[in-house]
Amino acid sequence: MTPSDVKATLSFSDGSPKMDLPIYKGTVGPDVIDIRKLYAQTGKFTYDPGFLSTASCNSTITYIDGDKGELLYRGYPIEQLATQCDYLDTCYLLLNGDLPDATQRSDFHKLVINHTMVNEQMQFFLRGFRRDAHPMAVLTGLIGGLSAFYHDSTDINNPEHRHVAAIRLIAKMPTLVAMAYKYGIGQPYMYPKNDLSYSGNFLRMMFGTPCEEYVVNPVLERALDRIFILHADHEQNASTSTVRLCGSSGTNPFAAIAAGVACLWGPAHGGANEACLNMLEDIQRQGGVSKVGEFMEKVKDKNSGVKLMGFGHRVYKNYDPRAKLMQETCNEVLAELGLENDPLFKLAKELEKIALEDEYFVSRKLYPNVDFYSGIVQRAIGIPVNLFTGIFALARTVGWIAQLNEMISDPEYKIGRPRQLFVGAASRDVQPVGER
């Protein structure tokens, strides 16, 4: 962080003493005002529920320019990574700070692929769930439970433990997500195969059966790999902030990632892809494109509580670059599968067209986000709606780990402990029950 020559001066209209606050500049993006000494010097807190104007940390991992609609992982534009690299290259980049050379790439791919199996006890863990349990409930349990199997990599302050836990989590998430799916449909689990790619392995564990050889479709394999890249990290979003706050207590990496999975499940966050597809299917059931106008009126009516899922973003006030890439992936997959006329894709494009011309959306700078098209392409691949957020969690695990490791490696890090504005009852005495 570079101290700026400019200071912020805080003054109070009641003549309380002024206070100079240092300002720091990043490589790019908004400067920050350092308020760490504010309470000690003024006895006052800042107030920012939802953290609309608060930087919780300094980071070198992901940068988003919401106005430009720009997303960089370690400085590389998402458009280049999604078209020139694969997901494991992206994992290496997020974890280590740069793209791997040929040897590093081969070694990392082998390392991950050779850790894809999970302990055989996991299948008995799954049996504790109902077959119709939501996969995100299952995954929250399985990932939290991983710490029970790997006592040799649970000391978050040990860099070697963090590295081993990172590889195990990245490698085993596809296996666990596929197991949650197979458990739900009553099919046998498929063991990972080390001669397949990361994404090809996942497709086979999901859709293969012991009854016949599963042939990986290279178009679907590439599309899924790109979906993983697009979801890999995204600055200090709600689930990443959850992982950082959880990890700041010194808990083990598996527990911190399980907290991230739980947070991601929410429909305002990673659960939006499932909610968006359910929204499209509802409109389709009611009449499809002819009902879009009526639906949009509901969205614009504050009292309806209806939102256009997959639209809007706290940071992007322009088109989410991931949504553009996701739409392209949609086109490729639907063409490969002969589903160019997929009614939901047509409906989504009509919704987008209308929204982008409507003053309600334009004035609020609401654009499609990563979740708007991801459900359509996942559904076309054969992934069930209730597993969409599980796919998001699979892909985001590397981002959560990279952010967690960055925090723990910072000698200045402390346990996160926000304060509050207390507006409850002042001190009062308990009255005997007969006098209450």
User: Which are the catalytic amino acids?
Assistant: 313, 371
Q: Least distance from C-beta 176 to ligand SDX, angstroms?
A: 20
- C-alpha 244/C-alpha 240 separation (Å) is 6
How far is Cα 3 from Cα 15, in angstroms, rounded to an integer? 28
**309 binding ligand SDX? (CB under 6 A):** yes
3-class SS at 420? coil
Decide whether 64 or 156 has the Cβ nearer to ligand SDX: 64
Q: For ligand SDX, give the closer residue by CB, 193 or 269.
A: 269
Contact in structure between 73 and 90 (CB atoms under 8 Å): yes
Question: What is the closest distance, in whole angstroms, from the C-beta atom of residue 68 to ligand SDX in the complex?
Answer: 15
Asked if 308 interacts with ligand SDX (CB under 6 A), we say yes
Q: Does 313 bind ligand SDX (CB under 6 A)?
A: yes
Task: Decide if residue 82 touches ligand SDX (CB under 6 A).
Answer: no
Where do we find the tokens 């004035």? 363
Rule CB under 6 A: is residue 364 a binding residue for ligand SDX? yes
* Chosen residue from 228, 311, 388, 400 binding ligand SDX by CB under 6 A: 311
122 versus 323: smaller Cβ distance to ligand SDX? 323
From 86, 225, 342, 371, residue interacting with ligand SDX (rule: CB under 6 A): 371
DSSP β-bridge partners for residue 71: 64
Nearer CB in complex with ligand SDX: 167/393: 393
- The interface with ligand SDX within residues 231-250 (CB under 6 A) comprises 234, 237
SS3 of 72, please?
strand
CB count in 10 Å sphere of residue 315: 17
Q: Which residues pair with 24 in a beta bridge?
A: 3, 32
For the chain, what is the radius of gyration of the CA atoms? Answer: 24
Span 150-179, contacts to ligand SDX by CB under 6 A? none
Total residues binding ligand SDX (CB under 6 A): 21
380, 333 in Cβ contact below 8 A?
yes
CA 284 to CA 252: how far, in whole Å? 45
Report in angstroms how near the CB of residue 205 gets to ligand SDX at its nearest: 24
Smallest distance from ligand SDX to CB 179, Å: 25
- Label residue 212 left, alpha or beta by phi (over 0 means left) and psi (-120 to 50 means alpha): beta
CA 206 to chain centre: 21
**Contact between 196 and ligand SDX (CB under 6 A)?**
no
State the residue number with the nearest CB to ligand SDX: 312
State the nearest-atom distance from the C-beta of 243 to ligand SDX, in Å. 11
Q: Which of residues 259-278 bind ligand SDX (CB under 6 A)?
A: 268-270, 272
314 near ligand SDX, rule: CB under 6 A: yes
What's the chain's length in residues?
436
Query: Which tokens go with 280?
Result: 């499209």
What span, in angstroms and rounded, lies between the C-alpha atoms of 45 and 421? 8
Near ligand SDX by CB under 6 A: residue from 291, 307, 317, 324: 307
Q: Report which of 189, 164, 161 is spatially closest to residue 174, judged by C-alpha positions.
A: 189
| Smallest separation, CB 230 to ligand SDX (Å) | 9
Residues forming the site for ligand SDX (CB under 6 A): 234, 237, 268-270, 272, 299, 307-315, 364, 366, 369-371
